[in-house]
């Protein structure tokens, strides 16, 4: 089968867009205040640090996806109670929680609202605090972001207490 130049170019572009980025394309972000780290996806902006230095935001190249990373001290007494409170907050804000799983050392939940999806993950860190990441994007981008979420999960880590 012979491909025209245009068909070859389209095939190559699709391959590049659907191939997971290599490890070197991801940029590390570390938070000194809460001692957590996560890798930022290729093409996303650098994390714009918040004024209180708990984390920040990063956006996809097209601006349609936002990654937020932050740490916070427990206000609900335990990691499990904190996660329950946050899930309840998402529900109160109109998100339909579609998936939720929680262990002693991590928790994830995701949901939808209108044409948007979010995925949030929390891990306990030192000094009765928790580190989070939350990726929010358009439903039509789900296939694009599924492998990115997998990589974010693998890269999120905290220092030993």
Task: Report the CATH number at residue 117.
Answer: 3.40.1000.10
Comparing C-alpha atoms, which of 49, 29, 24, 38 is closest to residue 157? 38
Q: Is 104 within the bounds of a domain?
A: yes
Looking at residue 105, its pLDDT comes to 96
CA distance 90 to 92: 5
Looking at residue 2, its pLDDT comes to 46
Looking at residue 44, its pLDDT comes to 98
Looking at residue 24, its pLDDT comes to 67
Looking at residue 161, its pLDDT comes to 86
User: How many independent structural domains does the chain possess?
Assistant: 1
Task: Spell out the residues 6+ positions from residue 94 whose beta carbon is closer than 8 angstroms to its own.
Answer: 113
Q: Is 16 within the bounds of a domain?
A: no
Q: Is 13 within the bounds of a domain?
A: no
Whether 40 contacts 27, CB under 8 Å: yes
Residue-by-residue pLDDT tens, the chain, 161 positions: 444 444 333 333 333 344 444 556 999 999 999 999 999 999 999 999 999 999 999 999 999 999 999 999 999 999 999 999 999 999 999 999 999 999 999 999 999 999 999 999 999 999 999 999 999 999 999 999 999 999 999 999 999 98
Total-model pTM: 0.84
Predicted confidence (pLDDT) per residue in 41-69, tens digit: 999 999 999 999 999 999 999 999 999 99
Looking at residue 12, its pLDDT comes to 35
Looking at residue 16, its pLDDT comes to 38
Q: Is 137 within the bounds of a domain?
A: yes
Q: Is 15 within the bounds of a domain?
A: no
The end-to-end CA distance of the chain, in Å, is 60
CA distance 61 to 31: 23
Domain that holds residue 64: 24-158
- In what side-by-side order are the strands of the sheet with 36-40? 27-31, 36-40, 157-158
Q: Is 2 within the bounds of a domain?
A: no
Looking at residue 87, its pLDDT comes to 98
Q: Is 4 within the bounds of a domain?
A: no
Q: Is 12 within the bounds of a domain?
A: no
């Amino acid at each position: 089968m012979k491909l025209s130049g245009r068909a070859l170019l389209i095939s190559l572009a699709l391959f590049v867009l659907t191939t997971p980025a290599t490890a070197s394309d991801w940029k590390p972000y570390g938070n000194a205040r809460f001692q957590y780290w996560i890798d930022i996806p290729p093409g996303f902006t650098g994390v714009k640090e918040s004024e209180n230095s708990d984390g920040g935001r990063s956006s996809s190249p097209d601006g349609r996806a936002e990654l937020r990373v932050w740490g916070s001290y427990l206000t609900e007494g335990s990691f499990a109670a904190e996660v329950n409170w946050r899930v309840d907050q998402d529900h109160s804000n109109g998100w339909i929680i579609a998936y939720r799983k929680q262990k002693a050392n991590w928790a994830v939940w995701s949901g939808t609202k209108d044409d948007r999806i979010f995925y949030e993950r929390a891990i306990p860190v030192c000094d009765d605090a928790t580190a989070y990441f939350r990726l929010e994007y358009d439903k039509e981008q789900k296939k694009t972001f599924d492998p990115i979420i997998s990589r974010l999960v693998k890269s999120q880590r905290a220092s030993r207490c």
